[in-house]
Amino acid sequence: DMKVTQMPRYLIKRMGENVLLECGQDMSHETMYWYRQDPGLGLQLIYISYDVDSNSEGDIPKGYRVSRKKREHFSLILDSAKTNQTSVYFCASIRGAQDTQYFGPGTRLLVL
Amino acid sequence: KTQVEQSPQSLVVRQGENCVLQCNYSVTPDNHLRWFKQDTGKGLVSLTVLVHENDKTSNGRYSATLDKDAKHSTLHITATLLDDTATYICVVGDRGSALGRLHFGAGTQLIVIP
């Protein structure tokens, strides 16, 4: 059963703290994504990873960095979180070309 | 500027009724268009993908059309069920490869009432 997992599902942090969001997939997909979803807006792309250690900025990379050391894991890191990074974060992976993206269940992050 | 506009923003229908969701976009090039369903608190799940000019697809009670000339797509849901309550998101891909970008609409929130 194809699956994208995200941990944690819910997280509360104080402004200035570091945040680590984890994503895993069991489909050996090369390409993975991190998005954030805010009310009234479409998903916004933060970073793309084309494979291990092959990462590319998306549309809103500022304040974020990523790490992909294994094909099945893709991490999103917020160094010194800001209140405007409160959002729901989605990880996704894709097999290729016009195939669908498979989405994780999301991580709801609240930065106080 | 938003390149994918969905309407209506929200919609309430009674169980058993049909409904139509609209998607207009300005993405160029427009390689493909996909409709996703997002249940509350969950990730996005693909319903259907449209690729060609004047494409039409059908997936159970979901059917969709694409007019690339007009840059417009519709998602029809027939005989709605309570489980159809969700946000429906229109996504336009600008290339047929992983190098392409996906452009997301903000979604239509559908509520199905008994």
**Of residues B100 and A79, which shows the higher confidence score?**
A79
Chain A / chain B CB contacts < 8 angstroms: 55
Q: What is the pLDDT of residues B27-84, one digit of tens each?
A: 999 999 999 999 998 999 999 999 999 999 998 999 999 999 999 999 999 999 999 9
What pLDDT score does A98 carry? 61
Question: What stretches of chain A adopt beta strand conformation (E)?
Answer: 4-7, 10-13, 19-25, 31-37, 44-51, 54-57, 65-70, 73-78, 87-94, 101-103, 107-111
Tell me what pLDDT residue B95 has: 80
Give the pLDDT band of residue A83 (cuts 50, 70, 90). Answer: very high
Predicted pLDDT of residue A99: 75
CA B61 to chain centre: 14
pLDDT at A97 over 70: no
Question: Which residues in A have their CB inside 8 Å of a CB on B?
Answer: 4, 30-31, 35, 40-45, 50, 59, 90, 92, 94, 96-98, 100-101, 103-106
Minimum mean pLDDT range among A48-57, A91-100, B102-111? A91-100
B29 upstream amide cis, omega within 30 of 0: yes
The pLDDT tens digits for A8-26 are 999 999 999 999 999 999 9
Q: What is the DSSP letter of A100?
A: P
Contact flag B98-A105 (C-beta cutoff 8 Å): no
Cα–Cα distance between B54 and A4 in angstroms, integer?
Answer: 33
Cβ atoms of B94 and B66 within 8 Å: the answer is no
pLDDT for the residue A1 = 65
